[in-house]
Amino acid sequence: MEKHYKSIEEILPPPSFHMVGDGFRVHNFFPSQPKIGQTGMNPFFLLDYGSKWLVPPSDTPKGVGVHPHRGFETVTIAYHGKVAHHDSAGNSGVISEGDVQWMTAGAGVLHKEFHEVEFSRKGGIFQMVQIWVNLPAKNKMSPAKYQAIGNKDMTKVLLDDGKSIVELIAGEYNGMKGPAFTFSPVNLFNAKLIKGAKARFSFNKNYNTGMLVIEGEVRINNSKTGPENHFILFGHDGEDIIIEAIEKSVILVLSGEPIHEPIASYGPFVMNTEAEIKQAYEDYNNGKFGYLED
């Protein structure tokens, strides 16, 4: 019933883009946008959206060189293009369209990300999302970990129209679970809808919930319209959401239980106190994050 629908707090257009390294052109929906900030989508701390753009061919792959992280997880979701990843824990891999790379920085890791060599040589359409998922204090210093989640590994729930699907990366939908291990309750889905299709979701009213329209256009809760490249932020006064695809659409769905702990963040570190941030820099400068060649 309509009274149970989650309210729509705001539909946010993509902010101006900035470059991350020399290879990733992104719109930061949070934490830089005041409407969401550091806590409005907690436990999701950051969302960088690399909207669709044409990457020119390059013999030298562009991207981000070696840098550290501690205290959270990075989740990279590929829609178009290919990215190669290496980290100081010995993990490496390539994600391409439909794949996800889920890296737990934990106590500390160095990593680098570049356009995959062949993709770089040819150029092409590039579109990705990177999310930072905060870790509870008790898990911030856990060992670094890497989950390579290929599209074939995702749980796919067929909807009533027989063609649309909801791909589960993490969490639960219609009694089925996604493959990703998470340290706190997190739902992360891709809803891929044909024109006219409807998808229904239900999340705990206390969870922070949002949707990013990756492609197409949707009608939310039989009322407002979510255009392509816009982020829909929901309130906490209901549990149910219904989205209808006005045209063929792809929607990234995020909902998670907030971590009610202090947040101290600076640069590549997300901790609980300023002292922990200072310690992270000391540990990094003293080589405690391992070694990774540039």
Within 10 Å of residue 267's Cβ, how many Cβ atoms?
Answer: 12
Angle at 269 between CA 39 and CA 235, to 5 degrees: 15
For residues 249 and 225, give the distance between their C-alpha atoms in angstroms, rounded to a whole number.
Answer: 13
Identify whether 43 is preceded by a cis peptide bond (ω within 30 of 0): yes
Rounded to the nearest angstrom, the gap between the alpha carbon of residue 182 and the centroid of all alpha carbons in its chain is: 13
Alpha-carbon Rg for the chain in angstroms: 19
In the chain, domain spans: 2-285
For residues 30 and 27, give the distance between their C-alpha atoms in angstroms, rounded to a whole number.
Answer: 9
Which residue's entry shows tokens 């659409």?
A: 249
Q: Give the strand pairing for 155-158 and 72-80.
A: unpaired
Residue 94's DSSP bridge partners are 84
What is residue 238's three-state secondary structure? coil
- Those residues with Cβ within 8 angstroms of residue 10's Cβ, 6 or more apart along the chain or in another chain: 35, 232, 233
At the fourth CATH level, which superfamily is domain 2-285? Jelly Rolls (2.60.120.10)
Q: What is the structure's pLDDT at 40?
A: 98
For residues 44 and 74, give the distance between their C-alpha atoms in angstroms, rounded to a whole number.
Answer: 10
Q: Do 278 and 220 contact (CB within 8 A), yes or no?
A: no
| Alpha-carbon torsion (154, 26, 208, 105), positive or negative | positive
Read off the tokens for 161: 């129209």
Looking only at Cα atoms, what is the longest distance across the chain?
58
Residue 194's DSSP bridge partners are none
* Per-residue pLDDT tens digits of the chain, which is 294 residues long: 445 899 999 999 999 999 999 999 999 999 999 999 999 999 999 999 999 999 999 999 999 999 999 999 999 999 999 999 999 999 999 999 999 999 999 999 999 999 999 999 999 999 999 999 999 999 999 999 999 999 999 999 999 999 999 999 999 999 999 999 999 999 999 999 999 999 999 999 999 999 999 999 999 999 999 999 999 999 999 999 999 999 999 999 999 999 999 999 999 999 999 999 999 999 999 999 999 998
DSSP state of 5: B
Read off the tokens for 117: 């060599």
Find, among 169, 90, 93, 174, the residue nearest to 133 by Cα.
169
